[in-house]
Copies of this chain bind each other. A is one copy, B any other.
């Protein structure tokens, strides 16, 4: 699928280079309609017929951009959850908080939240979504991986720390809180998760 680059970091809503403005407008209108349907009724409602009816874009045009329904849903999600890359300060706590705030923003954006739910479900039964989920997971976890590995090298975190477990401990609580407990949360919640992680993992200093 050619759109996976989106999930790997292309800025959202960027029209394809060289696309004529009318085609770019149709494409944007179609994706916006697909996102609305996704949020309102779930992925099964995102069909070419329904997107054409809501966006006013002809079905022939839709089929030219997206030959099947999964590719349309895929791009509607990927466009919105293209991962933000927060600037790094080199301070462990600040960088972890900035990275987790990206996940917080995603989980509180209607399309982002629904997109996460859809990829979690569809990944097991549809290879295109498995690819999207993997690409999102790599983009999302990659930021944490860089921060944690650097802190291990500098001695801020213990060299023996399991980086994958650390990512689970940072991102897992946010996912659980939003997608299972169905609660919203603010910046203080993110601070609590990071501080608990640091309390468990900072090297103990004697005396």
Question: From A204, which residue of chain B is reached at the shortest CB distance?
Answer: B199
Give A9-62 interface residues, CB cut-off 8 Å to B. Answer: 40-44
Q: Which residues of B contact A201 (CB under 8 A)?
A: 196, 199
Which listed residue (B43, B120, B126, B169) contacts A169, Cβ 8 A?
B169
User: In the bound complex, how far is the Cα of B189 from the Cα of A42, in angstroms?
Assistant: 34
Question: From A42, which residue of chain B is reached at the shortest CB distance?
Answer: B125
Flag if B200 contacts A196 (CB, 8 Å).
yes
Residue A165 is within 8 A (CB to CB) of chain B in the complex: yes
Q: Which residues of B contact A125 (CB under 8 A)?
A: 40-42
The minimal Cβ–Cβ distance linking A164 to chain B, given in whole angstroms, is 7
Residue A176 is within 8 A (CB to CB) of chain B in the complex: yes
Question: From A43, which residue of chain B is reached at the shortest CB distance?
Answer: B121
The A contact surface, by secondary structure, is: helix
Given contacts A120-B120, A200-B196, A200-B199, is CB(A172)–CB(B177) below 8 Å?
yes
A residues sitting closer than 8 Å to B (CB atoms) are: 40-44, 113-114, 117-118, 120-126, 133-134, 137, 141, 162, 164-165, 167-169, 171-177, 179-183, 189, 192-193, 196-197, 199-201
With A164-B183, A175-B180, A196-B200 known, 18 other A-B pairs at CB within 8 A are A40-B125, A43-B121, A117-B121, A117-B124, A121-B122, A123-B182, A137-B180, A137-B181, A137-B182, A165-B193, A168-B174, A169-B169, A171-B172, A171-B176, A172-B173, A172-B174, A175-B176, A196-B201
